[in-house]
A = this chain, B = another copy of it.
Amino acid sequence: MITSTANRRVKWVRALQTKRHARQEEGVFVIEGVRLAREAVASQSPVKLVLHTDNLGARERGLVNNLARLGAEIEVVSESVMVACSSTESPPGLLVVLPTPTIPSPEPLSFALVVDRLADPGNLGTILRTALAAGVEVLFLTKGTVDPFNPKVVRSATGAHFRLPIEILEPRALAQRLDGMQIWIAEAGHGVLYHEVNWRQSIALIIGCEAHGPQPAIRSLAKGQVQIPMRVSSDSLNAAIAAAVILFEIARQRGEP
């Protein structure tokens, strides 16, 4: 059992939990808890490392065995080491390090979401989860957006990382990927009402940063603005809520699923 936070693997996990560049250099990220670990097993992703405390139940032990079959080294750690390694205040006792998924996106695209410079990790994770449920085929992120493999994003996304392709692109490369699609941008208080747009074609929706909206290079890609009408004109919506309302209107019109 590892009982020291000076342990090499413990230091590695702590760096992965806290530093974007550590995750990016190695192309790995960290998940915690049974629910996400099950998603990892279901995706048949290769797995690098499992840390767990020694009080696992029978089902959790079966899950650890399945993770070992995917290539994971298994280490038992003390409660205090798990607290040091966890990104949550109440660690679930099971932590997994694995490569960031590479999920191919369909060709050609017909339903893409672009998130530009969103700062809040909980919002980005919720958008990931929501986009998957609404039938989005690929999520494009611009540089300046919070790292999609940040632990808080991973937690809020509840496994969407294993199913939804995510690509981080410069505006120019993004323009190429969206070529031929109708591109709409969500704005508070400006543009066509979101339910008056015909979404039954190849479309991309852009959601901007909470405070300032999308940057000019991204904004210029859009054909038009869409807004969600609100009862109180001074109001705005949380970015994840605005994304959800428009994405499910798109899904409703397209008859997906």
Q: What is the interface of chain A, defined by CB distance below 8 A to chain B?
A: 122, 126, 129-130, 132-135, 156, 158, 163, 195, 228-232, 235-238, 240-241, 244-245, 248-249, 251-252, 256-257
Contacts A135-B231, A245-B245, A245-B248 aside, 13 further interface pairs with beta carbons under 8 A come to A126-B241, A130-B237, A133-B231, A133-B236, A133-B237, A134-B230, A156-B238, A158-B236, A228-B248, A229-B251, A230-B257, A237-B244, A241-B241
Q: Which residues on B sit within 8 Å (CB–CB) of A158?
A: 236
List the number of copies, as a whole number: 2
How distant is the Cα of A235 from the Cα of B257 in the complex, in angstroms? 13
- A241 is contacted by which of B135, B163, B236, B240 (Cβ under 8 Å)? B240
- A122 is contacted by which of B122, B130, B134, B163 (Cβ under 8 Å)? B122
Chain B: CB-nearest residue to A160: B235
Chain B: CB-nearest residue to A242: B244
A241-B132 CB under 8 A given contacts A228-B248, A256-B231: no
CB–CB B129/A235 < 8 A:
yes
How distant is the Cα of A245 from the Cα of B229 in the complex, in angstroms? 14
6 A–B contact pairs at CB < 8 A?
Answer: A126-B238, A130-B237, A133-B230, A133-B232, A135-B231, A245-B248
Q: Nearest chain B CB to A141's CB is how many angstroms away?
A: 19
- A257 is contacted by which of B135, B231, B252, B257 (Cβ under 8 Å)? B231
CB–CB A132/B240 < 8 A:
no
Q: Nearest chain B CB to A136's CB is how many angstroms away?
A: 9
Q: Which residues on B sit within 8 Å (CB–CB) of A230?
A: 133-134, 257
A241-B130 CB under 8 A given contacts A230-B257, A231-B257, A248-B228: yes
CB–CB B129/A232 < 8 A:
no
Chain B: CB-nearest residue to A125: B238
How distant is the Cα of A126 from the Cα of B158 in the complex, in angstroms? 19
Q: Which residues on B sit within 8 Å (CB–CB) of A236?
A: 133, 158
How distant is the Cα of A235 from the Cα of B240 in the complex, in angstroms? 17
